[in-house]
Structures are given as structure tokens and as C-alpha cells.
Structure 1
């Protein structure tokens, strides 16, 4: 192509338009005008509403995953909080139940201690309080160990009772503790008196009876006047138990035609299982009057007695 035919002007790519500063000023003025016009005449309100309506589905779709993520995290967090609250509530409930049970035990123990104190005031025989430490491990005997021993003035053979009646007898004494054989032990016997009839008898331990043991009256005639619910107290003829202490009530009277003796089962009034506080009586011999001195022997004039 001949050189004379070439265009002498610069290509459109290299053409120089308005300067950048002039364009910035023009666009800034236009923006300012639009803002003032929108503020005064609200000319862009319909445009914004149309754009918002057109973009709302896209916004809803884009926002749903974020909302689901927030709801999921909130659900799991609320579930953990609920589980933690349930665990705390159950622990608190257990603690309250334990406190209520302890309060009930303390109330029952307080009632029994008050009864023991009132019993000591009513007894004519001196007594001292003691606490049961544990039951003996021998399965063939019914014995308990108390926290009073030889150093506390406890002697072998003295009676032991709780707030309801005679519980047993001290059979072994150690320096700091003592062993008490309960009335329901098979080797234990106690003289009793029927308050209604005044008849005396001997009650023997019966550990095989219902509810952990009882006592049995033996060698009672089949036609003897004895009924259920008769009260039995200590007779005092043995010199060990003071008279008048409550022992048991007659629970069942069994009269057989083939036997001359009746079988009489009694329920002890004392708590033979789970007792905690007892009263140890002083030896009955300390309260007995001294024996009278023997009368002097008078001799006759012949020197004979």
C-alpha cells in the first residue's frame, strides 16, 4: 500500500479523551445531583424497590444455608444446655433426697433419745447411756457391742434396755466396750410376769421367729389363762432384772390336743434390730438392802445351845 494512502491520525486505541480529573469531577457532580434529587424528590425509590424485589429470591437462597447453620448450632447448644441442666437438677434432687433422709433419721433418733432420757428419769435403778457400735459377726448368736466398758463402770450381767423395753443383758465386759446378748438369742432366758393375771413364767430366746426373732414362753399349761396381747414385764425374782420393766407382748398362743403344754410366742417391745442408743442399768445388788446380821445364839445355864 502506498504511503500516501495511510491515515495520518492516531488509532482509536491511542486517542486521548477527557482527562481523568475532569471525568472524576463530572461523575462526582452527577452523583451529588442524584443524591440531592433522591433526597428531595425520591426519584430512585421505585428503582430500589424493583431491584430489591428482583434480588430477594437470590438473597433468600443465599441466606438459607447461614440460617440453617445458625439453627443447627443453636439446637445442639440448647440440647447440651438442657442435658447439663437435667444433670444438675438430678444431682440436686439426689442431694435434697439425702438431706431429707438424714433429717428424718435425725428426727427419729432425737425422739428415741428423748424417750431414753424420760425413761432414765422414771427408773428407780441408776442407769447410763450407751451407743451400739456394731453387731457381732457370729451368725449363730444375737449380740451387739456397745461403747461402754469396764472403765465406764459397766459390769457383767447387768440389764440393757432401750426406750421401749428390755433389750438384753451384758455377757462380756472389756475395758472400753461390752458385749450385750439380746433377748432373742437362743441361750438367753428372762423371768417375766403377766401383768393381767400375775402369773410368773420364763421367756426363752427364739431367733427363728418372724421379723428377726422373738421370745417364747415354755412349760405353760395348755389350760393356763393367757391371751394374745398380754403384757409381760420382768418379775425381778432372779435378782438381775429390776421388777416391772416391759419385756414383750403375747403374739400367738398355740394349744395342742396332743401336748400338755401350750406354745406361746411373744414379740419383744425393744428394737432388737437396728437399735443405736441403749440404757445400761446398774447392778441390782447395789440397790438391795444389806442382809440382816444373824441373831445371837442364846446359851442355857448348862452351857448347851
Structure 2
């Protein structure tokens, strides 16, 4: 072969075939056709089920490290939470033990002082549990109806409290139910004692059950009462037992009317959310508070 007839061009490094763009267009069109056919005829559902069944052991095996890490993390978190709860429980138990010892000591001193002064011992009033059936629909009268009445020994004027504090007073008694007017009623008055200063006042409701609030009336501007003070029943009315939680002072302002300070307090009882209550025996035969119905 003559030397001039030899092909001196280098061979291609890769074998040339169908262009990549053409392959992409054909495969894209085929994928679209298959998706449309599957959406119409659902022919791929058995295939997907078979593939999922075959791959299930592989997926389970692949997920085991993830589950193991999650289990270890949850175990450590629960262990830490349990240890924290145990520490808090021990601290609370120690505090309760100290308080119990202090209360017992104070109770003993109280008994001895009453014995020395010739005063009779205070007797804790009897109480019975009751459930709130419903709230009265009257927006001007914040009151609820409980499932205890005259047949269960409920008396007119009986104080009612939930697990947090004084809730109100029985104002109507029926054979099987009773109506309890909440202490946020505008005409309900509760004699209260400031546990920090020893000041005594009358707490009146502001009339709203949705935004429960109490107002202390006739408080002098020079009062020592301040926000955060705890108010309890003073017992001077002979109706409410002494020492029941009533409210916590929320705001004290010297800008009240007629030369008195404005003192607003938040009720201790869950006025809007209470479900179960205690109906106490009145300390005396004092009449129940009366309110005018609009």
C-alpha cells in the first residue's frame, strides 16, 4: 500500500454512537408515556408491590442503625428525666417535711395559746365533693350549677371552693342541685386578710367570668399592700372559714377614686375552668349573699 494512502488521523477515544441529547429526549418521552399509561391503567401497581415486598428486608436492615440511635437517645433522655424528677421529688419531699414540722409546731403553739387564753378550739368545717354541671348562660350573673342540693345537705350560704381557693357561695338550693354564685360577681363580698401585712379588707368581684378579677375597696393610699401579696379569708364574717386562699394581689395603684388606692387581685380558684368543687358547711347561720337579677 502506498505510503500516501494511509489514514493518519487518530482513532476516537470513545466509540461514538447516538448523541446524548437524543437519548435524553427519547427516554424522557418514554418516561412520560409510561407515567400516563400507569395513571390511566395502573399497570405498574403489582410491580411496585412486588418490588416493595422484595426490598422490605433490605429496608428493615438499613433502618436498624437509625432505630438503634433513636432508642439509645430516647433511653438516655428518659433516664436523665427520671433522675431529674427523682431529684425534684426528693427536694419537694424535704420541703414538705420541713413545712409539715413547722405547721405541726405552729398548730401546737396555737392550741397552747388558745388553752391559756380560754378560747375554744377551731373546728374544721365539714365538706362534701360536688361536680359542676354547667354555667348559667346569663352574662350578668357569673354562676354555676352543681350536682348537690338539699337532699345531700347543702345549705344556703355554704362556701364553695375548688382545689386552689374560694370559688363562691351557694345562693340557691334545690332538691338535687344548687346554684353557686362565683366570687367575681359584683355584689359578692369576701372579707380577706393580707398574710404579709395583716391588713383586712373586703374583696369584691368585677363581674367578669371570662376575665376574673377582684377589687379591694376602701384601701388607704398609704397601704403596705403590694403586688404578689396573698389574700386569704379572715373569717370575721362568720361564714367563710379562716385561712382559705382567695386571691393574689396583681396591681396596686394610688390613683383610685375618692382618696383610696386601687388594688386588683387575681382569684386563686380556677373560676373559668373548675370542674369539681368542695361545698363547706357555713361557720354560722349567716344568710347567703343576695344578688339582683337583671
What range is the shorter-chain TM-score in?
Answer: 0.5 to 0.7
Report the alpha carbon displacement of residue 274 of structure 1 after superposing the two structures with TM. Answer: 2.0
Q: Report Cα offsets for 1:21-63 as digits up to 9, x if no partner.
A: xxxxxxxxxxxxxxxxxxxxxxxxxxxxxxxxxxxxxxxxxxx
Shift of the 131–78 alpha-carbon distance from structure 1 to 2, 3 Å rule, reads farther
CA shift for structure 1 position 164: 0.5
State the distance in 2 between where 1:161 and 1:202 align.
Answer: 18
Structure 2 gap segments, 5+ residues each = 1-32, 49-122, 286-294
Q: Corresponding residue for 2:194?
A: 194
CA distance in 1, matches of 2:175, 2:207: 29
- CA RMSD in angstroms, aligned pairs only: 2.8
Q: Deviations over 1:153-199 (max 9, x none)?
A: 00000100000000000000000000000011111111000111111
- Go from structure 1 to structure 2 and tell me whether the alpha carbon gap of 1:144 and 1:78 turns closer, same or farther (over 3 Å shift): farther
Alpha-carbon separation, structure 1, partners of 2:157 and 2:230: 24
User: Do the aligned partners of 2:167 and 2:269 also contact (CA within 8 Å) in 1?
Assistant: yes
In structure 2, C-alpha distance between the alignment counterparts of 1:134 and 1:78, rounded to whole Å: 59
Residues 159 and 78 from structure 1, CA distance in 2 versus in 1: closer, same or farther, beyond 3 angstroms?
Answer: farther
What pairs with 1:225-236 in structure 2 (closer than 5 Å)?
A: 225-236=224-235
2:42 aligned residue (59, 65, 73): 73
Question: What SS does structure 2 have at the residue aligned with 1:285?
Answer: coil
Partner of 1:132: 132
Unaligned 5+ residue runs, structure 1?
1-63, 80-122, 287-305
| CA drift at 1:285 | 2.8
Question: Which residues of 2 match residues 275-294 of structure 1 at below 5 A?
Answer: 275-285=274-284
Change (3 A) 1:252 1:76: same
Query: Who is 2:248 aligned against?
Result: 249
1-side partners of 2:242 and 2:144: how far apart? 24
Distance change in 2, residues 1:216/1:163 (3 Å): same
1:214 corresponds to which residue?
213
Q: Point out 4+ residue stretches in structure 1 off by more than 6 angstroms.
A: 76-79
- Quick one: distance in 2 between partners of 1:69 and 1:142? 64
| Cα shift at 1:69 | 7.6
In structure 1, what is the Cα distance between the partners aligned to 2:132 and 2:38?
Answer: 65
1-structure distance, mates of 2:47, 2:150:
66
Q: 1:257 to 1:184 in 2, by over 3 A?
A: closer
The answer for the alignment partner of 1:175 in structure 2 is 175
Once residues 169 and 233 of structure 1 are traced to their aligned partners in structure 2, the CA distance between those partners, rounded to angstroms, is 15
Alpha carbons of 1:78 and 1:157: their partners in 2 closer, same or farther (altered >3 Å)?
farther
1:246 Cα deviation after fit? 0.6
